[in-house]
Amino acid sequence: MTLNPRILLAPLMGAFLLIPALAQAFVISDIKVEGLRTVTPGTVFTYIPYHVGDDFTDADSTRVIDALYKTGFFSDVSVGRLDNVLVIRVKERPTITSIEVKGNKKVETEKLQKALKAIGLAQGHVLDPQALDKMKTELQRVYYGMGQYGVQIETSVNQLEDNRVSVLIDIYEGKPASIKKIRIIGNHDFSESELLDQLELHPVPWWEFWSNADQYSKEKMSASLESLRSFYLNRGYLKVGLDSTQVSITPDRKQIDIVINVSEGPRYKVSGVTFSGNLLLDQATLKKLDEVQVGQYFNRKLVIDTSDAIAKRLGDDGYALARVQPSPTIDEKDKTVAIDFNIQPGDRVTVRHIEFKGNFNTNEEVYRREMRQMEGSWYAANKLDRSKERLQRLPSVQSVDQKMKPVPGVPDQVDIDYDITEQLSGSFTAGVGYSQSEGVLFNLGLNQANFLGSGKSVGINLERSSYQTSVQFNYNNPYFTVDGVSQGFGLFYTRQDAAALSLSQYLVDSYGGNINFGVPLSEQTFASIGFQLQQQKIKETGTSPSWITGVSVNGDQPGPGFDGKSFYTFSVIPALTYDTRNKSIFPTSGVYQKLSATVAVPGSQLLYYKGDYNGRVYIPLWKNTTLSGHAQVGLAQAYGSTKTTYTGVSQYYSGLPPFLNYYTGGIQSVRGYQDYSLGPVDSAGNPMGGTLMTAGGIELITPIPFLTSQVNSVRMSLFWDVGNTYRTYHDFSVPSLRQSVGVGFNWISPVGPLIFSIAKPLNSKPGDRTQIFQFSVGANF
């Protein structure tokens, strides 16, 4: 928008026309302002450099006009005289009642309004025509910084009543400029391709259609240059310089060429490491924390890691504000550098208060009992880290921001604030899902993992599918005692139709109850013991194969089968869990291991034991990308008078009844093979299960490229799975383990976890039931 020349001439003309009236000097007896609508007279008087009783001449009128124009409130100002009264006539500029921004998708409206306010365009402000031109330039600056060089901005001003206006800003963002080519010049010790690999920005081939690495922005450019600088600094190039960066855009503003000029400089080795300052830590401790290696090339990352490790170690002892400053001393002759770490611990501090914000649905006690840092005790960085980790693993918590605030005027005290973002911990589900193994799933459930804000969990769930009908009630109190002893109990009824899973054809009705107690042995280790009483009633179908109808339990010879028979079992279930994961959903670091056993004690109608191990490890590789390994092993065996014999297999077999066997295969164990299909089969090809189960694999877990903003709810993985089921542990052999590779997708959706996988079996055998695509939708329980 350009200014009307008439507007610029108006004040000069006004002053010129009034000169005769003001030609003779006079003493101001009063000052009168005419034309005000929203601006108060007092505001005008504040800016006028004259007062009643001052002398006034025609030369002074120009000063008054200039002073009032500079306020930006007025579009026209004139000065006159009525006797000895100074008369100032003004025309106010309109007031902005609203600013509407349309078409902005890449930049939030709030961010744009903040940029506009910085140049004086905001609701309630006076409209300055010059500000509209500045506005266009400022918005272009915001978009150009994001690589949106094709942005087009149009403004319109709508006149309203009472000298008010509304401003409409219409933005056409266009497509971001893409990087056509990046060149690095001046490099000698490293190839251009090796250096280009360090950059966040780079041209993208057509097959990586989801990537935005070729979309230029100043922030990405700065990050790329810093990555390149770090690459050199971590390899001894202390004086590396990125002398210049030329960014040129094509005439159509759609593509960008970048040239980076590098000056590598000499390479330096570390000649020595020393520690100075207030050395509260002994030399032996400092040496253990020191990662810088004498005789090796300088590495900035190791220097920073050492500084952080020393500061954290001091923080564990209460020195929350410790500063460690590394200082290099360069020997140009020998091309070496000596590193001195200057340590200033500061005051040892105690934690005065711990405050929680954002806990709208949870009692503060639930969060406070997770604290390992206590109020009134010495500050301990390791205890604060552990406290934050425990908070993040609560089901009602989405994220935790921990801040330390020095207490004003008290140098040896700090406060700790936890800003908690809560998430829904309760759910009412009533829906339909689908699983390839179980068919259509109907479910109805009411679950609350934070019942009445107490941290206790209560749930009742009903599920119906072709394979299973179940009703479950569960309750758990993680703090049954103040020491963290947990207590839980449950009631259940389940009917399972094995034929629905293409297993042997029989029905199992189970009902019972359980109670369990858990005891924390350490911060990461938890022991529990449970007791379960259940009854299992077996019903054979008319098409049950001979090995089912010929099974005999608690006998040495084939019997008439177990149709209509019931078995009561009382089991003891001890377990030991070790968990260092940083989060319970989509963890990125840590280890989870659980060792459990189920022992049917003497007096039960079935005597058996089961031992199960489930382990996972998560290793962070880079941002939001994790390498995970997992393993499962299950071993079961009958004991005492329980001997199950089968006919129609190949020989009599002593072990468990088929409804207690392990089954492997499918989306939860070895993908690429049908659910529960791996292991021994009968003469009809139906899986029989076995007493030994093995499964494991490795996964590279990463966000989906075009859904990086949904990293907390959607993940993909590249996986290798391996496993099988064996009749007994004597049958185990490595060559018989089935393997598969593929890609998987996990989505924590509003209806429950959704799991998809595309897998290729690597060593399937004749008779194996393979399945390349598998999914499970709406599996809430």
Taking the domains of the chain in order of start, what are their residue ranges?
5-92, 95-172, 178-263, 269-344, 350-422, 426-777
88 backbone dihedrals φ, ψ, rounded to 5°: -115, 120
What's the CA gap between 744 and 763, in Å, rounded?
19
pLDDT above 80 (res 647): no
| Cα–Cα distance measured from residue 157 to residue 415, given in angstroms and rounded to the nearest whole number | 50
The pLDDT score that the predictor gives to residue 229 is 92
The residue that leads in pLDDT, 188 or 501, is 188
Query: What does the longest C-alpha to C-alpha distance in the chain come to?
Result: 134
- Which has more confidence, 746 or 570? 570
User: How far is Cα 294 from Cα 271, in angstroms, rounded to an integer?
Assistant: 6
Q: 663-700, pLDDT tens digit by residue?
A: 898 888 899 888 778 888 776 677 778 899 999 999 99
pLDDT digits (tens, 9 = 90+) for 581-637: 987 778 889 999 999 999 999 988 888 999 999 999 999 988 788 999 999 999 998
Q: Which of 58-67, 515-524, 535-544 has the weakest average pLDDT? A: 535-544
- Token pair, residue 667, equals 């989306």
Measure the CA–CA gap between 505 and 487, rounded to whole angstroms. Answer: 38
In this prediction, residue 19 carries a pLDDT of 43
**Which residue, chain included where needed, has tokens 């031992």?**
611
Does residue 513 register a pLDDT over 60? yes
H or E element at residue 323 = strand 323-331
Structural tokens at position 744: 């998987």
Contacts 24+ apart (CB under 8 A), 280-284: 280/314, 280/317, 280/319, 280/343, 280/345, 281/310, 281/313, 281/314, 281/343
- Provide the token pair at 352: 């005065």
Q: Choose which CATH entry (3.90.1170.50, 2.40.160.50, 3.40.50.2300, 1.10.3130.10) describes domain 426-777.
A: 2.40.160.50
Q: How far apart are CA 123 and CA 100, in angstroms?
A: 10
State yes or no: pLDDT of 762 exceeds 70. Answer: yes
Instruction: Compute the Cα dihedral for 116, 118, 121, 123 and give only its sign.
Output: positive
Q: Tell me the CATH architecture of domain 269-344.
A: Roll (3.10)
pLDDT, tens digit (0-9, with 9 covering 90-100), for 254-287: 788 888 999 999 999 999 999 999 999 999 999 9
Task: Give which of 644, 467, 649 is closest to 545, Cα–Cα.
Answer: 649
Q: Domain 5-92 is in which class? A: alpha beta
Q: 710: pLDDT confidence band, cut at 50, 70 and 90?
A: low
Please determine whether the domains at 269-344 and 350-422 fall in the same fold group of CATH.
yes
Banded model confidence at residue 645, pLDDT cuts 50, 70, 90: low
- Confidence at residue 706, expressed as pLDDT on a 0 to 100 scale: 62
Give the per-residue SS3 of 244-313: EEEEEECCCCCEEEEEEEEECCCCCEEEEEEEEECCCCCHHHHHHHCCCCCCCECCHHHHHHHHHHHHHH
Q: Where residue 440 falls among pLDDT bands split at 50, 70, 90?
A: low
Q: Which residues pair with 701 in a beta bridge?
A: 626, 717
Pick the closest to residue 340 from 376, 369, 303, 395 (CA basis): 303
User: Sorting pLDDT into bands at 50, 70 and 90, what band is 207?
Assistant: low
Confidence band, pLDDT 50/70/90 cuts, at residue 336: very high
Residue 451 token pair = 């019942």
pLDDT tens for 359-418 read 888 888 888 988 998 999 999 999 999 899 888 888 878 788 899 999 998 989 999 999
Q: Residues 476, 487: contact at Cβ < 8 Å?
A: yes
What kind of fold does domain 350-422 have according to CATH?
A: Ubiquitin-like (UB roll) (3.10.20)
Q: How many CA atoms lie within 13 A of 81 on its CB side?
A: 22
Give 224-230 contacts, CB < 8 A, sequence gap 24+: 224/198, 224/199, 224/200, 225/260, 227/198, 227/199, 227/200, 228/184, 228/195, 228/198, 228/199, 228/260, 228/262, 230/198, 230/300, 230/301
Q: Where are the strands (E) in 93-223, listed by range?
A: 95-102, 152-160, 164-172, 178-185
Task: Name the class of domain 95-172.
Answer: alpha beta
CB 437 within 8 Å of CB 671: no
pLDDT mean across residues, the chain: 82
CATH class for the domain made up of 178-263:
alpha beta
